[in-house]
A = this chain, B = another copy of it.
Amino acid sequence: MTRGGRPRDGRVDAAIATAARELLAELGYAQVTVDAVAARAGVGKAAIYRRHSTKQEMIFAALVHDLELSGTPDAGSLRADLAALTREIVASLSGPPAGLVPGLLADVHADPALAARFVSTFVGAERACVSEVLDRAVARGELAHRPDAAVTHALLLGPIFAWLFLLLEDPARLPTLATAVAVATANALLADQP
C-alpha cells in the first residue's frame, strides 16, 4: 500500500509544524489556513485534522514552544537571575513573526479548551522558571520568605509584553526596558521582606 511519498508518523508532525512556521512568517497569522499548511507540508488535510481540531490548535502546537524559555541557570544572585530571566522573556516575545503573539492570544480567549492548554504549557513552563529563580534566592538567604510567583511573573513579563504589543514602542529600546524591569522587580522583592 503506497502513501504517495507523504511523510509518516513523527515526521508528519514536524512537516506540519515547519509548514505552519513558514506560512506564518510569509502571510501573517490571520491569513494562514489549514489548506495552505497541508499543501506546503505535503500532507492531506485529514492528517492535520487527525492531530488538531482547528487551525488555532495547529498553530498553537507548532509555535507555543517558541515562546517558552530555555531555562535559567544559576547566575549567582537574585539580581543576576532576574536580569537573565528578563532577557529570555524579551527574546521569546520578540522572536515570533509579527502579529503571531496577539493573534494567538485572541484565539486563546475565544476558546476555553485552548486557554486551558495555553495556561498548562506556556504559562506553566514560564512560571516554573520564575519559581526556580525565587527558590534559589530563598536557598541563598537573599530572601527570608518565598514571594508570590504569580505576582513576580506579572511584574517581569507584563512590561515587556506591553512595550511590544500594547504601546508599540521601539523594539531597539527593549534592552533598556528589560534592565529597568529586572532592577525594579529585584528591588521590590528584596524590600518586601520581614
The chain A residues found within 8 Å of chain B, CB to CB, are 28-30, 98-99, 102-103, 105-106, 108-110, 115, 118-119, 123, 127, 150-151, 153-155, 157-163, 165-169, 173, 176-177, 180-181, 183-185, 187-188, 191
Majority DSSP secondary structure for residues of A touching B: helix
Write out the residue numbers on chain B whose beta carbons fall within 8 Å of the beta carbon of A155: 159, 180-181, 184
- Residues of B with C-beta under 8 A to A99: 106, 109-110
A187: chain B residues at CB < 8 Å are 184, 187-188, 191
Q: How far, in whole Å, are A119 and B166 apart by their CA atoms in the complex?
A: 9
Pairs across A and B, CB under 8 Å, 29 listed? A30-B106, A30-B110, A99-B106, A99-B109, A99-B110, A102-B102, A102-B105, A102-B109, A105-B105, A105-B106, A106-B106, A115-B168, A123-B167, A150-B163, A150-B167, A151-B180, A154-B160, A154-B167, A154-B177, A157-B158, A157-B162, A157-B167, A158-B161, A161-B161, A161-B162, A161-B166, A184-B184, A184-B188, A187-B191
